[in-house]
A and B are shown apart, each in its own frame.
Chain A
Amino acid sequence: GQQLNQSPQSMFIQEGEDVSMNCTSSSIFNTWLWYKQDPGEGPVLLIALYKAGELTSNGRLTAQFGITRKDSFLNISASIPSDVGIYFCAGHAGGTSYGKLTFGQGTILTVHP
């Protein structure tokens, strides 16, 4: 099946620093999604990308849909302690896949005050 490689696996940063993480796929996706999971909670959607090359922002978060449609990037600017959590990328292949998503392994973000 399709594989998503998400990196880095974990990050330890100081408050105020910028963060970058990315996801690469062995095959093409039509939609890329970025989710955040707080401890003990379910994933919550941060940003959805629907077109190759698309750059979308949500507050301090910016995500891009790679031109090749095989990768996506998420940047967080000026991190704050509440950014702590696990960030997941997810891809949707389109067609008759019934909305099924393929998830990356997650990036664990720790922010030191």
Chain B
Amino acid sequence: NAGVTQTPKFRVLKTGQSMTLLCAQDMNHEYMYWYRQDPGMGLRLIHYSVGEGTTAKGEVPDGYNVSRLKKQNFLLGLESAAPSQTSVYFCASRLTQETQYFGPGTRLLVL
């Protein structure tokens, strides 16, 4: 049981490039979330999903898109990366109670 995994662990992009971050969970959780973490700002919700085939916007969705084609996977896409998207990205999942389980994070640097 790996819990929540994220790939890649680290990535460097040039401004304007695109990429997809993958989150996978093997706990059969319905809900999944994408956060970004910036110094002094805690974790801010980008997008979330309440089940396979559904997605919704969080607090800071601009510049990101998501897809949940399979229950166990939640993808976060950056179509045209900007330096302001340099951050650490965390995925989380939960079943029913409010407790969310987090992945190890993806560190993204946009030059």
B33 to chain A, nearest CB (A): 7
Chain A positions 1-52 with a Cβ under 8 Å from a chain B Cβ: 1, 4, 6, 9, 31, 33, 35, 40-45, 48
B18-62 interface bits toward A, Cβ cutoff 8 Å, 1 = contact, 0 = none? 000000000000010100000011111100101000001011000
B55 to chain A, nearest CB (A): 11
Q: Across the interface, which residues of A come within 8 angstroms of B104, CB to CB?
A: 40-42
Alpha-carbon separation in the docked complex, A104 to B42 (Å) = 6
Whether, in the assembled complex, B99 has its beta carbon less than 8 Å from a beta carbon of chain A, the answer is: yes
Chain B positions 58-111 with a Cβ under 8 Å from a chain A Cβ: 58-59, 90, 92, 94, 97-105
Alpha-carbon separation in the docked complex, A85 to B105 (Å) = 16
A77-113 interface bits toward B, Cβ cutoff 8 Å, 1 = contact, 0 = none? 0000000000010001000001111011110000000
Contact B48 A98 (CB under 8 A): yes
Known contacts A44-B102, A98-B56: A103-B43 contact under CB 8 Å: yes
Alpha-carbon separation in the docked complex, A4 to B100 (Å) = 18
Contact A1 B59 (CB under 8 A): yes
Q: Across the interface, which residues of B come within 8 angstroms of A98, CB to CB?
A: 31, 48, 50, 56
Determine which of B43, B48, B98, B99 lies in contact with A88 in the assembled complex, contact meaning CB atoms within 8 Å: B43
Contact A42 B50 (CB under 8 A): no
Residue of A nearest to B56 (CB): A98
Q: Across the interface, which residues of B come within 8 angstroms of A31, CB to CB?
A: 98
Residue of B nearest to A31 (CB): B98
Residues of A within 8 A of B (CB): 1, 4, 6, 9, 31, 33, 35, 40-45, 48, 88, 92, 98-101, 103-106
The 8 A-B pairs with the shortest beta carbon distances in the complex, nearest first, are A42-B102, A103-B42, A92-B98, A103-B43, A31-B98, A105-B42, A43-B102, A42-B104
Could you list some 12 contacts between A and B, CB below 8 A?
Answer: A1-B59, A41-B104, A41-B105, A42-B102, A43-B43, A43-B102, A44-B102, A88-B42, A98-B56, A99-B33, A105-B40, A106-B42
